[in-house]
Amino acid sequence: MTVHHLLQTNSVLNTFIKEIRDKTCQKDSMRFRRNIERIGEIIAYELSKDLDYKNEEIETVLGIKKSATINTSLVICSILRAGLPLHQGILNYFDTAENAFISAYRYHPNKDENFEIKVEYFATPSLTDKTLIIADPMVATGKSLVTVYDAITKYGIPKKIHLVSVIGSKEGVRLIQNHFPENTDLWIADIDENLDNNGYIVPGLGDAGDLSFGIKL
């Protein structure tokens, strides 16, 4: 797996990451969602450099011009519900992509810090020979992405996988590196050092789903 850690190079992305981490800015859920969407747009732009292209001729009012256009069949799959703003940002740039949605959540059978990942819903087009983009804003333990990958590949094997995330932990990144195939790229804005005892990223930003859409039961 190739890891693209985007905040290793300074850009406007720094501003959006700073704001989504800031607990004062987080009080504005609309701004939080929009910043996640903008981060998705920036990552989509960087990811687009890795896609296949073909030359096409276009006719302007004054002549003919050759133009390189994307020649990759894309499927964007977001993990509900936290992945929706990130999904929208990616879709803003790849507007002809097909779309898939999968649910994945932490289930605590003993009401303690131990959990397993439950997948209960998956809607997708065919993935066979497609380039799959999986949008998950937080890579904490990495277990959600691993479970999602195992569920998804029962419906077809993609030609290429791109994982798009906002913030991850070193431990979570290591887990997915060991689980996903070699032809996988991880595009992630920032990577933090640690997880706490509950498996949340420190310093992280909190629960991206709750910050986007409100606290759930």
User: How does pLDDT run across 16-27, given as a tens digit for each residue?
Assistant: 999 999 999 999
Rounded-to-integer distance, Cα 204 and Cα 2, Å: 22
Domain ranges of the chain: 2-53+70-213
Q: Point out which residues pair with 217 in neighbouring strands.
A: none
Of the candidates 90, 112, 87, the one whose C-alpha atom is nearest the C-alpha of residue 209 is 87
Segment 66-79 shows an average pLDDT of: 96
SS3 32: helix
Residue 75 DSSP one-character state: E
State the helix-helix crossing angle for 84-93 and 29-48, rounded to 10 degrees: 40
Of the candidates 100, 92, 185, 89, the one whose C-alpha atom is nearest the C-alpha of residue 137 is 89
pTM of the model: 0.92
**2-53+70-213 domain in CATH 3.40.718.10?**
no
User: How does pLDDT run across 118-165, given as a tens digit for each residue?
Assistant: 888 899 999 999 999 999 999 999 999 999 998 888 888 999 999 999
